Amino acid sequence: MPIYEYYCYDCKKRVSVLYRTMAEADAGAAACPECAGERLQRLMSRLRVLRSEESSVESMADDPSLMTGLQQEDPRALAHFMRKMSDEAGEPLDEEMNEVIDRLDAGESPESIEESMPQPPDGDERGMPGLGGL
Ligand SMILES: [Zn+2]
């Protein structure tokens, strides 16, 4: 069962949404498990690595320009967000993550980056959405 991480704009929390099927995940019918809000920003799955204090996300929610950028799905805002997450978590980004952020910074969409990244051979990410036509 796929699990995606989202940022909820309503309760300002990072939440994990569990889907029963890939089709359901693909449809993007996500609701916040905390407050049932539907204003969710999907986070890159790799962001799971940076799991740490929720307070770091809350402090970023105080930065209106950043949150606006994220809401508008501005890749540069997302790059900024991820760098800041890493800083506040005190965990350095690995090489792959740095590449992702550089590409976001260059204006590439998270979806296109995610699709082009190699998946771990023994991971649970098989059957990623969008790869069915290959
Ligand atoms: Zn919520």
CA-to-CA dists, residue 25 to 12, 18, 84, 103, angstroms: 21, 8, 27, 25
DSSP 60: H
Round to whole Å and give the CA distance between 73 and 101. Answer: 14
Q: How far is the CA of 62 from the centre of ligand 1 (A)?
A: 16
The pLDDT score that the predictor gives to residue 45 is: 54
Assigned token pair, 62: 């105080």
Q: The tokens 């969710």 sit on which residue? A: 40
The series of mean pLDDT values per 10 residues for the chain, 134 residues long, is 84 87 74 90 59 53 71 82 81 85 89 79 54 48
Domain boundaries, the chain: 1-43, 52-113
Q: How far is the CA of 132 from the centre of ligand 1 (A)?
A: 31
26: helix, coil or strand? helix
The pLDDT score that the predictor gives to residue 56 is: 55
The pLDDT score that the predictor gives to residue 35 is: 96
